[in-house]
């Protein structure tokens, strides 16, 4: 199994981040979308158009992204967000989007890997972190 080239290319911390923080492929695509337009206010409707999905599903994605502090709402403009991760998170997002673009099959497989996801969440639950 480990000789699979799609498995090799993703670094450990990237794997962990994908498994714990990226719930679906559209979620990853939405990150790419916001990331490609740094600083710009993006409407939920335009997210739906660009990802070829319904506005309802796009609204769910946007909500998840905002909850993950990857994007932030734009003040005074309803249903509009911009790419706004912390520096640390931005560095990690650089890493995983790079991996996604260069190893689409490997990363997609990882996103869909329920066993590994469950395992990571289970083991990570025992780490008592000081920061929430």
Can you give the binding site for other proteins, defined by CB under 8 A? 1, 12-13, 16, 88, 113-116, 118-130
Residue with tokens 């206010």: 41
Supply the minimum distance, in Å, between the C-beta of residue 117 and other proteins. Answer: 10
DSSP for 70-123, please give it. Answer: SEEEPTTSTTEEEE---HHHHHHHHHHHHHHHH-HHHHHHHHH-HHHHHHHHHH
Nearer to other proteins, 77 or 121 (CB): 121
Nearer to other proteins, 52 or 122 (CB): 122
Supply the minimum distance, in Å, between the C-beta of residue 45 and other proteins. Answer: 33
Nearer to other proteins, 3 or 39 (CB): 3
Supply the minimum distance, in Å, between the C-beta of residue 101 and other proteins. Answer: 22
Residues 43 and 79: beta-carbon distance below 8 Å: yes
Nearer to other proteins, 12 or 75 (CB): 12
Max distance between CA atoms of the chain, in angstroms, equals: 52
Do you know the residue count of the chain?
Answer: 132
């Amino acid at each position: 199994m480990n000789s699979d080239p799609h498995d090799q290319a993703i670094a450990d911390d990237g794997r962990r981040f994908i498994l714990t923080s990226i719930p679906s492929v559209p979620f990853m695509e939405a990150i790419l979308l916001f990331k490609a337009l740094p600083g710009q206010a993006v409407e939920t409707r335009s997210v739906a158009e660009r990802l070829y999905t319904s506005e309802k599903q796009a609204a769910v994605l946007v909500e998840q992204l905002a909850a993950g502090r990857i994007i932030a709402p734009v003040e005074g403009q309803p249903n509009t967000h911009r790419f706004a991760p912390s520096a640390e998170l931005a560095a990690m997002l650089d890493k995983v989007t790079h991996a996604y673009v260069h190893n689409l099959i490997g990363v997609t497989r990882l996103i869909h890997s329920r066993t590994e996801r469950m395992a990571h969440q289970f083991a990570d639950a025992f780490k008592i972190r000081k920061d929430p």
